[in-house]
Structure 1
Amino acid sequence: MAPAVAQAAMDSGVARIDVELGEYRDRLRAKLGPGYELMRDMRDRARTKRARVIFPEGHNDTIIRAASQLVADGICDPVLLGRAPRIQEKADLLGVDISGVEVIYAAELEDERSRYADQLFEKRARKGLTFSEAEWNLFKPVYFAASMLENGEVDALVHGIEANYAEALRPCLHVVGRKPDGSGEAGRLAGLYILAFPNRELLFLADTTVNIEPDARSLAEIALQTAAFVRDLGIEPRVAMVTFSNFGSVSHDEASTAAEAVKRVREMDPGLEIEGEMQADTAVDFIKLKSTYPFSRLTGPANILVFSRLSAANSAYKLLEELGGADVIGPVLLGMAKPVHVLQRGSSLTNVLDLATVASVDWQARNRQV
C-alpha cells in the first residue's frame, strides 16, 4: 500500500487500524531501501525545473508508457519522435494518456533536416562522411534527436531500447561529442551503474559499458567523473580501484595500471578518498581493509568501485542484480558534452523512468555550473 493510499483509507474511515502516516512512510522507506530514497530525491529535483527530454524511439511501447507516466508525475516534458497517428494508436491500445506528450515527425521537417545535415557534414567531413551520407543519416531518428539536442531545441536525450549499446551511442558521439577534459581535448566516457541493497549504502560501479581495457589515464578520469556525479547526489565518495591484486600482491600490468591510476587521481584531486589497487571484497569490507592494510586512506568501505576492465565491471553489476538482490539504476553515461543517456536494449519501464529522471537532473546540474 502506497502512502497516498494509506492516507485515503484513513480519511475515508476504511482502514480499521489508525496508521500513523509518518511511521508508515518510515517503514516503507526502510523496506524499499536506499535506491527508493535516491530516486525519490532525484524525482523531486527534476520537478523543480522540468527538462525537455527527447526519445528517438517514439513508437516503442515501453517508451510510450514512460512518456505518459513522466507527464503524469511531472518529472519532465517528454518529446517523442515518430508518426503521431501511429503513436496515438499504440497509446490507445496500451490504455495510456499521451495528451501532454509532444510528438515530432522528423520526416516532415525538411528545413531542419537540411540544416542538421550541413552541421553533421561539417563535423564529420574529414572523418570519412560524405554529404549524401549526412543527409541520409538525418532520416534516422537518433541523428535527428541528437541534432535537436546539439542545437538547444531539447535539453536531454534518452535512447537505446531497441539497439545494442555501441550502436545507440555512436550517432550521439558523432553529433554531440564528448565533454572536453582539463587540457581541452575530448575527455573519456564511462558507464555507471548505481546498485541499491536493502541494508547497506548505495554502491556505484564503473566503467560498465564503454572502455574495454582502459589505461591509467582513462581509469583516473573514470574515477574523477564518477566521484563528481556521486558528490552531486550529496554523497561523499570513497573510491576503490578494483582488480585481482591487493596493493602489489600480484605483479601484473593490469594491477600496475590500476595503482598508477590511483596516483594520478591523487595528483588531480588530493581531497578525494581513493585507494588501490585492491580486490573487490577488500574494497567493501572495511574491517578486513583496516586490519590487513592499516595504511589505507579510506575512512569507510568504498562506495565507488572502479574496475580495471569492462568485463569485470559489467559482470559484477549483472551478478549483483541477479544473485545479490540489488536494485539497479542505470547505466548513467558520464562524459558527454550534453545530457545523453543510453538505455540497455529491452529496458523495463522502470529503467526508462529512472534514466529519464537522471537525464533531467543531469541537465539541471549542467545549468547550475554555467
Structure 2
Amino acid sequence: MKHCFMLSPMGSSTGASSVAMGVLHLADQRGLSAAFFLPVAQSVQSLSTTFGAKPAMGMEQLHQYLSDGELDDALELIVAAYEEAAKDADIVIVLGLAANDQAPFAARVNAALAKSLDAKVILVTTDTEASHQYMNRKLEVASEVYGGSVHGRTLGVVINKAGAPRDVHGTIRPEMFDTQGREIPSAATLEKQLPIFRGGHFKLFGIIPWQSRLMAPRSIDLNRVLPVQMLHEGEAHTRRIEHVSIGARSPGNLVSVLQPGTLIVTSGDRNDVLQAAALAEINGKHLAGVLLTGGLEPAESTLQLIAPALKSGLPIMLTKIATYPTATRLPSLYPYTPDDDNERFDAVTEHVVAHLEREKFREMISVDGERRLSPAAFRYNLVRVSSALKKTIVLPEGDEPRTVEAAIACAKKGIAHCQLLAEPKIIDELMKKRGWDYPERNFEIVDPRSIRNKYVNAFVELRKHKGMNEVRAHQLLEDNVVLGTMMLQQNDVDGLVSGAVHTTANTILPALQLIKTKPGSSLVSSIFFMCLPDQVMVYGDCAVNPDPDAQQLADIAIQSADSAAAFGIPPRVAMISYSTGSSGTGADVEKVREATRLAKELRPDLLIDGPLQYDAATTASVAASKAPDSPVAGKATVIIFPDLNTGNTTYKAVQRSASVVSVGPMLQGLNKPVNDLSRGALVDDIVYTVALTAIQAGADNPETN
C-alpha cells in the first residue's frame, strides 16, 4: 500500500525542504522506496536538483488557474504528475506551499492538495512563538485546515531551527555575529505543556536545533548575490561564512570578531583591516574570507605583506559595490543551498535525521511486504547492529593514517572497540599533525613490542607439526598481521581487519594457518556488498579463489547466500555464465551448471538458479524473455561469478564506472572473522569493514539474525 505524506510549512523559511530530506533518508534506511513530489515550483533554489523531482507546475501557472477560478483543473494536472512520480514508490513525500508574498493562498491550496493526494500532513514550523499558549493555538489553527488535530489528516509537527538567532523583530539572522541563539525547549516540556499533544493523536515528530554551520554558505557562493572578483581564491570552495562583520573598526577593536568562519566586509582602502585579518589567519583563526568593497584593490606591496595568510588559504574577494549595499545583500545568501554543495546537503540531512523521533516515524511509514535493502539501510544496519555487539577488532596496520582515522570514526560511532597495533609515539605524532583528538573510549593503542612474547609459546604449539620453534616464532611475530592473527586465535580480540597496505595473501595466509576454516567449510571465499543506487547486492567470489571447480563454486554460492541473509538481504542466488539456461555449451558453462545442481542439492531451502547471464539475472525485462520460469532471474540479490578473473573485473567495472560504493571483501568460511581491505580503501571503506567484522564476530547473537 502506498503512503503519501505532505510536509506543510507554517510560514516562510521553516526549512521544510530540509525536513523532507531527513524523512526521505529515514525511509531509505528502512529499505522503503521513497519518492519526493513537488506540486508547485516555489522560490526555493536547488529543490528539484536535490530530490531529482520536476515540479508539476510553476507558480505563475498556478496563479493563472486560481485567478480563473480553476483550482480543480490545476489539481487534476498535479494528481497526474503525482501518479507518475509515485508509481514505483512505497511512500511519497510531498512538499506543500509556504505562505509568502508569492503564495498568500498557500493554506487553501495545501488543503486541496492533501485531499486530492489522500495525504497525511505533518506541519513544519519554527519556534517563533512567544508563549506555549500562543504556539498551541497556532498549531490548532493550522491543523483545522486539514480537519483538526484529532480526526483530521494532520499527524503532528516538526519544529525546525529551534533556538535560532533572531533580531528584535524575530527574524532569523544567521549572518549577525552578535546575535545569540535562544534556549531550546525539550520535547518532554512541550508535550507536557501544550494541550494539542495530549491524547497521542497529534505528535511531536522532532525538535531540530539551530546549527549555524548548516546555514553557512561557502565563500565561493558570494557570487550568487554579488558581482565578486576573486583576488585570491584560496580555500573559498571549502570555507564557510558563519558570521559577517563590517570592518569599520580600528584593528585593535576587531579582535573579538576575527574568529573562524567570519567574513570581514570592509572598504578596499582599509589596508589596516586587511592586515589584521591576515594576522588572525596566520594565528590559526581561519576566517571565511575578506570582502573588499568599492572596487578598491589593495596594492601589490600589501598582498606581498600578507602572503603567509594567502598561503594558508585566506580568500580575498573584491566587489565594486559600496559597503552598506553589500551588507544588505548578504542575508539572502543563507536560506538556500547551491546544487553543487553536497557537503551542506549531507550535513543538513544528517543533522535533521539525528533529531527526528525515529520510532514515531517508523510507525508512520510502516509498509507491509519485503523491504528493499537500500545502501543507506545497509550502512545504517551495519552501525546499529555492530554497536550493540560491542566487539573488539584488532587493526594490525595501526599507524597507517586511513586506519587511524577509521578507528577514531568507529570509536565515535560506537561500532567497535578498535585496537591499533602501533608504537604510541608514532600515533601521538600523527594525531598532532592531523589535528585529531583521541576518542574517550573504544580506542586503544597496543605497542606490538610489549605483547609479542606473550604469543610465542602458543604459536609454536599451533605450528609445531610444521617444525616451528621459538626463534622462528619470534621472527614471524614481528609481522603485525601475524601478531594480530594470534591475538584473534587466542580470543584476546574478536576480529581482525587488514589490507590497507598489505596484500590479500598477507592477510589471508596467517588466518588459514592459525585460525583455519570452519567445520564443514572446504574453502575460504569472499564477497563484496555492492551498494547500487536502489539496492545492495552481494558479489562473490571476487578476491580469493582463482578458478574454483563445480563443488567449490557451489560452496561459494551457499556461503554467500548465508552471508547475505545474515545482513538482511533476502538471498536469491544467480550462478553467472556467458549463457542462460541450456542455450550454451562448453566446459565453462557445464561447470556452472553442475555447481548449480550441487548447491541446490546441498541447500534445497535456497533460491538458486543458473547458468544465467548477468543481464538475465538482474534485469526483469531480459529475464522475461531468456528465463521466464526462473525463480531468481530478474531479481537476483546474490551474484556468483564462475572465476576470479570474471568476478574481480566485474566488481571493479561496476564500482568505478557507476560510482558504486563496494564494502568488502568480507571473507567467508574461517573459524573467526578476518577481513581484507583493498589497498585503495577509503576511510569509510575501513569503517564499514570493521562493522562487518564485528557483526561476523557476533553471528550467534540473535540481533544479527
TM-score by length of 1: 0.88
Question: Distance between the aligned counterparts of 1:273 and 1:329, measured in 2?
Answer: 24
Q: Work out whether residues 195 and 204 of structure 1, in 8 Å CA contact, stay in contact via their aligned partners in 2.
A: yes
In structure 1, the residue corresponding to 2:698 is in which secondary structure?
A: helix
- 71-80 or 298-307: bigger deviation: 298-307
Q: Which amino acid aligns with 1:154?
A: V
The corresponding residue for 2:385 is 45
Question: Distance between the aligned counterparts of 1:246 and 1:18, measured in 2?
Answer: 51
User: Cα distance, 1:130 vs. partner?
Assistant: 5.0
- 118-127 or 322-331: bigger deviation: 118-127
* 1:141 has 2:480 as partner: yes
Question: Distance between the aligned counterparts of 1:343 and 1:238, measured in 2?
Answer: 26
Candidates 578, 603, 624, aligned match of 1:269? 603
Question: Distance between the aligned counterparts of 1:21 and 1:40, measured in 2?
Answer: 20
* 1:95 has 2:435 as partner: yes
Q: Work out whether residues 617 and 632 of structure 2, in 8 Å CA contact, stay in contact via their aligned partners in 1.
A: no
Q: Work out whether residues 616 and 626 of structure 2, in 8 Å CA contact, stay in contact via their aligned partners in 1.
A: no
Question: Distance between the aligned counterparts of 2:491 and 2:553, measured in 1?
Answer: 31
Q: Which amino acid aligns with 2:489?
A: E
* 1:105 has 2:447 as partner: yes
The corresponding residue for 1:210 is 544
- 245-254 or 300-309: bigger deviation: 245-254
Q: C-alpha offsets along residues 87-137 of structure 1, whole Å, 9 cap, x if unaligned?
A: 11111111112243211112123541xxx2333333333346554322211
In structure 1, the residue corresponding to 2:478 is in which secondary structure?
A: coil
* 1:195 has 2:535 as partner: no
In structure 2, the residue corresponding to 1:296 is in which secondary structure?
A: coil
Candidates 23, 28, 33, aligned match of 1:26? 23
The corresponding residue for 1:243 is 577
The corresponding residue for 2:421 is 81
Structure 2 CA distance for partners of 1:128 and 1:320, relative to 1, 3 Å: farther
Q: Which runs of 5+ in 2 are unaligned?
A: 1-8, 29-33, 35-50, 52-345, 347-372
Q: C-alpha offsets along residues 329-363 of structure 1, whole Å, 9 cap, x if unaligned?
A: 11111111101111111311011001011111111
Structure 2 CA distance for partners of 1:110 and 1:290, relative to 1, 3 Å: closer
Question: Distance between the aligned counterparts of 2:459 and 2:490, measured in 1?
Answer: 12
The corresponding residue for 1:160 is 499
Q: Work out whether residues 242 and 305 of structure 1, in 8 Å CA contact, stay in contact via their aligned partners in 2.
A: yes
Q: Work out whether residues 192 and 330 of structure 1, in 8 Å CA contact, stay in contact via their aligned partners in 2.
A: yes
Candidates 656, 665, 669, aligned match of 1:335? 669
- 59-68 or 186-195: bigger deviation: 186-195
Q: Which amino acid aligns with 1:102?
A: E
More helix by percentage: 1
Superposition pairs of residues 173-322 of structure 1, within 5 angstroms: 173-181=512-520, 186-198=521-533, 200-298=534-632, 300-322=634-656
Question: Distance between the aligned counterparts of 2:400 and 2:645, measured in 1?
Answer: 30
Question: Distance between the aligned counterparts of 1:254 and 1:141, measured in 2?
Answer: 40
Question: Distance between the aligned counterparts of 1:81 and 1:196, measured in 2?
Answer: 30
Question: Distance between the aligned counterparts of 2:24 and 2:530, measured in 1?
Answer: 21
* 1:362 has 2:696 as partner: yes
Q: Work out whether residues 142 and 172 of structure 1, in 8 Å CA contact, stay in contact via their aligned partners in 2.
A: no
Question: Distance between the aligned counterparts of 1:161 and 1:111, measured in 2?
Answer: 26
Q: Which amino acid aligns with 1:356?
A: V
Question: Distance between the aligned counterparts of 1:165 and 1:283, measured in 2?
Answer: 29
Q: Work out whether residues 596 and 609 of structure 2, in 8 Å CA contact, stay in contact via their aligned partners in 1.
A: yes
Question: Distance between the aligned counterparts of 2:690 and 2:395, measured in 1?
Answer: 9
- 235-244 or 101-110: bigger deviation: 101-110
Q: How many residues end up aligned between the 2 structures?
A: 350
The corresponding residue for 2:308 is none
User: Cα distance, 1:298 vs. partner?
Assistant: 2.3
Candidates 372, 378, 401, aligned match of 1:61? 401
Q: C-alpha offsets along residues 148-192 of structure 1, whole Å, 9 cap, x if unaligned?
A: 1111111111111111211222122222122121xxxx5311111
In structure 2, the residue corresponding to 1:72 is in which secondary structure?
A: helix
The corresponding residue for 1:132 is 471
User: Cα distance, 1:212 vs. partner?
Assistant: 0.5
Question: Distance between the aligned counterparts of 2:452 and 2:649, measured in 1?
Answer: 44
In structure 1, the residue corresponding to 2:16 is in which secondary structure?
A: coil
User: Cα distance, 1:19 vs. partner?
Assistant: 2.2
User: Cα distance, 1:257 vs. partner?
Assistant: 0.9
Structure 2 CA distance for partners of 1:243 and 1:131, relative to 1, 3 Å: farther
In structure 2, the residue corresponding to 1:157 is in which secondary structure?
A: strand
Q: C-alpha offsets along residues 316-340 of structure 1, whole Å, 9 cap, x if unaligned?
A: 1110011123221111111111011
Question: Distance between the aligned counterparts of 2:686 and 2:452, measured in 1?
Answer: 30
In structure 1, the residue corresponding to 2:528 is in which secondary structure?
A: strand
User: Cα distance, 1:80 vs. partner?
Assistant: 0.6
Q: Which amino acid aligns with 1:289?
A: A
Identity among equivalent pairs (%): 26
User: Cα distance, 1:47 vs. partner?
Assistant: 1.3
Q: Work out whether residues 452 and 474 of structure 2, in 8 Å CA contact, stay in contact via their aligned partners in 1.
A: no
Question: Distance between the aligned counterparts of 2:471 and 2:16, measured in 1?
Answer: 66
User: Cα distance, 1:234 vs. partner?
Assistant: 2.4
Question: Distance between the aligned counterparts of 1:176 and 1:304, measured in 2?
Answer: 27
Question: Distance between the aligned counterparts of 1:128 and 1:304, measured in 2?
Answer: 42
In structure 2, the residue corresponding to 1:54 is in which secondary structure?
A: strand
Which structure's CA Rg is the greater one? 2
User: Cα distance, 1:44 vs. partner?
Assistant: 0.7
User: Cα distance, 1:295 vs. partner?
Assistant: 3.1
Q: Which amino acid aligns with 2:461?
A: E
In structure 1, the residue corresponding to 2:545 is in which secondary structure?
A: coil
Q: Which runs of 5+ in 1 are unaligned?
A: 1-9
Q: Work out whether residues 616 and 633 of structure 2, in 8 Å CA contact, stay in contact via their aligned partners in 1.
A: no
Q: Work out whether residues 82 and 105 of structure 1, in 8 Å CA contact, stay in contact via their aligned partners in 2.
A: yes
User: Cα distance, 1:22 vs. partner?
Assistant: 5.7
In structure 2, the residue corresponding to 1:214 is in which secondary structure?
A: coil
User: Cα distance, 1:300 vs. partner?
Assistant: 4.8
Question: Distance between the aligned counterparts of 2:662 and 2:22, measured in 1?
Answer: 22
The corresponding residue for 2:162 is none
Q: C-alpha offsets along residues 233-254 of structure 1, whole Å, 9 cap, x if unaligned?
A: 2221111100112223222111
Question: Distance between the aligned counterparts of 1:20 and 1:321, measured in 2?
Answer: 31
Q: Work out whether residues 580 and 626 of structure 2, in 8 Å CA contact, stay in contact via their aligned partners in 1.
A: no
